[in-house]
Amino acid sequence: MPTLTDPARAIEVRQQLARREAELRSLLDACTLGAMQDADEREVGDFKDMAVAEVQATVDEAQAAHVVAELQRLQAARGRLDEGSYGFCEECGDEIDPRRLAALPTTTHCASCQEWLERRAARTH
């Protein structure tokens, strides 16, 4: 698989990031529109209706927060592409396996370091 020093591969990664960003922005727009419509359509109902509406609002907020976080990771990945550090582990500095980058284009760690970080986090919780 070509490395990111290959201009064609860098363009391909930029396009992949741009496509995912467009998908996420569309999803975020839909979440926002749905929340506005729900607020406009909300009628006084029984407690069950209010509970369902509250749960749905919580789910919508969580989904929107997840989308915003992923958008931030995409922007950071684009910044790493611009500065030439994309594809290198932030922990050890080694090149991240291209297959891992293909599956997780916003990843900042190689598989070994990611596993180590997750084990460390699990021990602290």
In 91-115, which positions are buried (b, 16+ CB within 10 angstroms) versus exposed (e)?
eeeeebbeebbeeebbbbbbeebbe
* 93 and 81 in a common domain: no
Q: What is the pTM of this model?
A: 0.74
* 106 and 116 in a common domain: yes
How many separate domains does the chain show? 2
Unique residue bearing structure tokens 């997780």: 104
* 59 and 35 in a common domain: yes
* 74 and 42 in a common domain: yes
Note down the domain range covering 119: 88-125
% of the chain exceeding 90 in pLDDT: 58
* 56 and 71 in a common domain: yes
pLDDT in tens, 86-122: 999 999 999 999 999 989 999 999 999 999 999 999 9
Distance CA 51, CA 12 (A): 46
* 105 and 75 in a common domain: no
Of residues 56 and 37, more confidence is placed in: 56
* 100 and 52 in a common domain: no
